[in-house]
A and B are shown apart, each in its own frame.
Chain A
Amino acid sequence: MAFLIQGRIFGLICLLFIMAAVAYYIKQAQAGKVPKVRRIPGIDAIDESIGRAVEMGRPVFCSHGIANLRDATTGPQTIAGLSVLNYVAKRCVAVGARIVVPVRQPEVWPIASDIVETEYKLAGKGEEFDPDSVQFLSTEQFAFSSSYMGLMMREKPGANIMVGAYWAESLQLAETGSRIGAMQITGTAQTSQIPFFLVTSDYCLIGEEIYSAGAYLSNDAALIASLAGQDVGRFVAVVLGLLGAITYTMGSRILLDLFAM
């Protein structure tokens, strides 16, 4: 077992177990057994917010966070944000809303731009795509934040959708959106920023909900089924948590030793 790194074996077992559960439910869905998914009001409200912006004659702002795609913890949040951007762009093109996408990371900008442009092309409106609608603002956190706030103050969006990884700028952006009267749907897995989004937004996606957004919005059976596999992992976490509390209270270190394996 020398090729396995000591202290990470139990983590690997858990990872493989959860991955197997997710893969199993995806295969089940492909065979026709699709689990039921609870409604997520924040995601359901995306259409409403875009419709509201159209009625008001204002643009829709959609941000996928300020993280890059490389980081292990925040990269997936950016991918989740881009999935939401994909849906928002699709809906904006369908109802004729102008979409504005502020970008912080240069390596994400071509992807975001491509997503929006492709939605225009798929709808047969390629010539209506404005390349300036997907704007790279700055890699500097607060330069990005001030530019975003400035854009919001000038453009007065009817909807501001922010899903992805945010840090200290979360409150600045959401509070500015709130002041200009935009309907706001936010979401992040950054635990330190969730309270800020909760108090300033109309709807807030908390933690794992942002990762389900892509599956939820696509209505794809296999993607929805993967959420059930996720629940297996949650069940394991709860069981281990309870067992850990009980065994440690009884003076046993069996689970701690197992985790350190």
Chain B
Amino acid sequence: MTIIATLLQVLPYYFNIPALQSAASTASNAVLLIVACATFVGVISILQVHGKRIQRRSEGWPFSVLVFVFCATMVLTGLPFAEYGLGSSNTIFNWIFTNIQTPLGGTMYSILAFFITSAAVRAFKARNIEAAIVLVSGTLMVMGNAPLFTNAVPVLADISLWIRNIPNMATMRGVMIGAALGAIALAVRTLMGIERGYLRGGGEE
């Protein structure tokens, strides 16, 4: 099954055979169906974990109640019955989505700025040659992207562009080629049935 499923994904990319394309399309649709069903598995897991937490009155259990309330509200108001006022046009569904989920997502994304700052403080210490190179090139990149510096010293923009396009690009391409080769080797091992680490017990009987 693994071999057939893998070949059905690989061969249509290279071969223009209608029967193969059709089989691959059917397989892809089957995968989508499985994934859609798996969504319910995720919900069950959440309800199990938070249900137990509420039952045992574990630390922070009121937050688990909130999870239950919002989960139920979003599921019920989001049901695809537009004739009953439910679905994506439902007022409650939209309000929660627009005023809670979207701002929370945006907030989480924006706090990355603080994480980057603290990580940069840790990284920008010239403890050895490699760290010194990171410090110098990082500083040049920051300065090359800040108009305050590039207005005063225009060559900074060219230097940062060179760092990005030459040494950085060369390294990234090396990593990408290596990663692609690694993925191909993993695919071959999976096709041959010897890579079983992702299976229960590593395939041990």
Q: Which residues of A contact B (CB under 8 A)?
A: 2-5, 8-9, 11-12, 15, 18-19, 22-23, 26, 68, 70, 72-73, 76-77, 79-80, 82-84, 86-87, 90, 103, 105-107, 109-111, 114-115, 117-119, 121-122, 131-132, 135-137, 139-143, 145-146, 154, 168, 171-172, 175, 178, 189, 191, 194, 196, 198-200, 206-212, 214-215, 217-218, 220, 222-223, 226-227, 229-230, 233-234, 237
Let me know if A233 and B181 touch, CB within 8 A.
Answer: yes
Let me know if B118 and A175 touch, CB within 8 A.
Answer: yes
Say yes or no: A82-B175 contact (C-beta < 8 A), given A110-B41, A140-B101, A230-B182: no
Contact with A26, one of B14, B176, B178, B192 (Cβ below 8 angstroms)? B192
Let me know if A106 and B38 touch, CB within 8 A.
Answer: yes
Docked pose: A194 CA to B122 CA in angstroms: 16
Let me know if A208 and B181 touch, CB within 8 A.
Answer: yes
The smallest beta-carbon distance between B193 and chain A, in angstroms, is 10
Contact with A234, one of B14, B16, B177 (Cβ below 8 angstroms)? B177
Chain B residues near A11 (CB-CB < 8 A)? 14
Q: Which residues of B contact A (CB under 8 A)?
A: 9, 13-17, 31, 34-35, 38-43, 45-46, 48-49, 52, 59-60, 101, 104-105, 108-109, 111-112, 115-116, 118-120, 122-123, 172, 175-179, 181-190, 192, 194-195, 197-202, 204
Closest to A240 in B: B177
Docked pose: A1 CA to B10 CA in angstroms: 18
Closest to A212 in B: B182
Chain B residues near A68 (CB-CB < 8 A)? 35
Let me know if A191 and B204 touch, CB within 8 A.
Answer: no
Contact with B198, one of A18, A79, A175, A237 (Cβ below 8 angstroms)? A79
The smallest beta-carbon distance between B70 and chain A, in angstroms, is 11
Let me know if A191 and B176 touch, CB within 8 A.
Answer: yes
Docked pose: A220 CA to B192 CA in angstroms: 14
Contact with B183, one of A111, A209, A211, A217 (Cβ below 8 angstroms)? A211
Say yes or no: A3-B17 contact (C-beta < 8 A), given A106-B41, A172-B111: yes
> Helix, strand, loop or mixed for chain B's interface?
helix
The smallest beta-carbon distance between A239 and chain B, in angstroms, is 12
Chain A residues near B59 (CB-CB < 8 A)? 154
Let me know if B178 and A234 touch, CB within 8 A.
Answer: yes
Let me know if A83 and B197 touch, CB within 8 A.
Answer: yes
Would you give 5 A-B contacts (Cβ < 8 Å), ordered by A? A109-B38, A211-B186, A218-B197, A220-B194, A226-B185
Contact with A70, one of B16, B35, B39, B188 (Cβ below 8 angstroms)? B35
Let me know if A214 and B177 touch, CB within 8 A.
Answer: no
Contact with A142, one of B40, B108, B176 (Cβ below 8 angstroms)? B108
> Helix, strand, loop or mixed for chain A's interface?
helix
Known contacts A132-B48, A172-B111; can you find 16 more A-B pairs with CB under 8 A? A8-B13, A19-B187, A26-B192, A68-B35, A76-B187, A79-B197, A84-B197, A106-B39, A109-B41, A136-B45, A146-B104, A189-B183, A191-B172, A226-B185, A233-B181, A233-B185
Let me know if B119 and A171 touch, CB within 8 A.
Answer: yes
Chain B residues near A107 (CB-CB < 8 A)? 34-35, 38, 41
Let me know if B122 and A207 touch, CB within 8 A.
Answer: no
Chain A residues near B190 (CB-CB < 8 A)? 79
Chain A residues near B41 (CB-CB < 8 A)? 106-107, 109-110, 136
Docked pose: A131 CA to B44 CA in angstroms: 12
Chain B residues near A23 (CB-CB < 8 A)? 188, 192
Chain A residues near B119 (CB-CB < 8 A)? 171, 175, 196, 199-200
The smallest beta-carbon distance between A18 and chain B, in angstroms, is 5
Let me know if A86 and B197 touch, CB within 8 A.
Answer: yes
Chain A residues near B123 (CB-CB < 8 A)? 198-199
